[in-house]
Amino acid sequence: MDQNIAKLKQWVQESDNIVFFGGAGVSTESGIPDFRSVDGLYNQKWKYPPETILSHSFFERDPEEYYRFHREKLVIDGVKPNRAHTRLAELEEEGKLKAVITQNIDGLHQMAGSKNVLELHGSILRAYCSRCRKPYDADVINHGQGVPRCSCGGVIRPDIVLYEEGLDDDVIMRSIHYIRQADVLIVGGTSLRVYPAAGLINYYRGNKLVLITRSSTPTAADLVVHGRIGEVFDQI
């Protein structure tokens, strides 16, 4: 076993206060493409960059085009949790892991069995009316046709944080709470330098900050484990 993975395994064995912070890389290993990845066909199908379509003002202006993008690029049917998701759920069940904080919107941590999941960017598995806030089954946004509307006439929207919108204060406060008192903080599928990871990880006070990454960029983590996140979690 890789020496750094062995060290991570030891830290995990010794701790009962682990927090995981995950980014897009956790989901891409389940076959969910990063919506920001612009393939060759992109410009033939879409007139705007993803960051524009997934913005608050665009949603208000052109919900029809928003939903065309949402259903084609954000909703990926048949995806399953990978070993990172399932191992994190096991560690929570064993009383070792306190929280999963994720930037992903796909609900795969819950599907794997995790209970305490803090979704910084919300979830496409929840929907609500943008006018009266009545909750709706996510099927109407993810698999319906056209623009889904509430009985009040308002447009039903996904419970995700669009560009130009702020993160949920309660989710932020709870994330800070767990990070601040974590013994081991494991970060995977994201870089430590980009928002919102960078700002939140600053609250960590311990000396067991672990970064699982496939890149070789230098970083300030206490332990860097190189590899695919699912394969790393399979060994700890």
Interface residues with Zn ion (CB under 5 A) are: 129, 131-132, 134, 150, 152, 154
Distance CA 95, CA 80 (A): 24
Choice between 45 and 134, CB closer to Zn ion: 134
Residue 129 C-beta: closest distance to Zn ion, Å: 3
Of 120, 220, 201, 227, the residue nearest 167 (C-alpha): 120
121 included as an active-site residue: yes
Q: Greatest CA separation found in the chain? A: 59
CA distances to 10, 40, 45, 53, 114 from 48, in Å: 47, 14, 9, 6, 36
Of 154, 148, 140, the residue nearest 75 (C-alpha): 140
Choice between 122 and 154, CB closer to Zn ion: 154
Choice between 112 and 127, CB closer to Zn ion: 127
Partner residues linked to 137 by β-bridges: 126
> Beta-carbon neighbour count of residue 66 at 10 Å?
21
Tell me the one-letter amino acid at 26. V
Residue 63 C-beta: closest distance to Zn ion, Å: 14
Provide the token pair at 80.
Answer: 């399953």
Residue 193 C-beta: closest distance to Zn ion, Å: 40
Catalytic residue among 70, 121, 143, 177: 121
**Cβ–Cβ under 8 Å, residues 130 and 63:** no
Distance CA 155, CA 211 (A): 40
Distance CA 50, CA 72 (A): 12
Choice between 21 and 128, CB closer to Zn ion: 128
Choice between 131 and 180, CB closer to Zn ion: 131
Distance CA 135, CA 121 (A): 17
Residue 150 C-beta: closest distance to Zn ion, Å: 3
Residue 105 C-beta: closest distance to Zn ion, Å: 22
Q: What residues are labeled active site?
A: 121
